[in-house]
């Protein structure tokens, strides 16, 4: 696994698009910091982000706060899918 490799300098990963990358943030950032590089073969346009403020365990987050925090970090619309169902 990439997180366990000591020397990733000049290691290049090619992925179809960003949706194919599944990694813990710590592993991802360590890989890049050590000199690893990731290239995507196809560009992708992110049109929106949908959030669900209810976890599988039933924990509820404040929907407005969740949307606001995510909206501050990205430049696409953010929707609460649970609110849209009502």
Long-range contacts: 47-52, Cβ < 8 Å, 24+?
47/76, 47/77, 48/76, 48/77, 48/78, 48/79, 49/74, 49/76, 49/77, 49/78, 49/79, 50/78, 50/79, 50/80, 50/81, 51/78, 51/79, 51/80, 51/81, 52/80, 52/81, 52/82
Cα separation, 26 vs 24, whole angstroms: 5
Are residue 6 and residue 36 in the same domain, yes or no? yes
Are residue 58 and residue 36 in the same domain, yes or no? no
Q: Name the residue range of residue 65's domain.
A: 49-85
Are residue 54 and residue 33 in the same domain, yes or no? no
Digit-coded pLDDT (tens) for 6-16: 788 889 999 99
The structural domain count of the chain equals 2
Quick one: average pLDDT of 2-24? Answer: 86
Are residue 53 and residue 35 in the same domain, yes or no? no
**Which of 7-11, 35-39, 60-64, 80-84 bottoms out in mean pLDDT, i.e. has the lowest?**
80-84
pLDDT band with cut points at 50, 70 and 90 for residue 73: very high
Does the pLDDT of residue 3 top 80, yes or no? no
């Amino acid at each position: 696994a990439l997180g366990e490799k000591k020397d990733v300098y000049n290691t290049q990963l090619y992925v179809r698009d960003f949706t194919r990358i599944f990694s813990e943030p710590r592993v991802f950032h360590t890989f890049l910091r050590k000199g690893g590089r990731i290239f995507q073969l196809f560009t992708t346009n992110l049109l929106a982000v949908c959030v669900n403020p209810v976890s599988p365990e039933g924990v509820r987050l404040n929907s407005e706060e969740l949307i606001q925090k995510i909206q501050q970090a990205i430049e696409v619309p953010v929707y609460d899918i649970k609110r849209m169902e009502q």
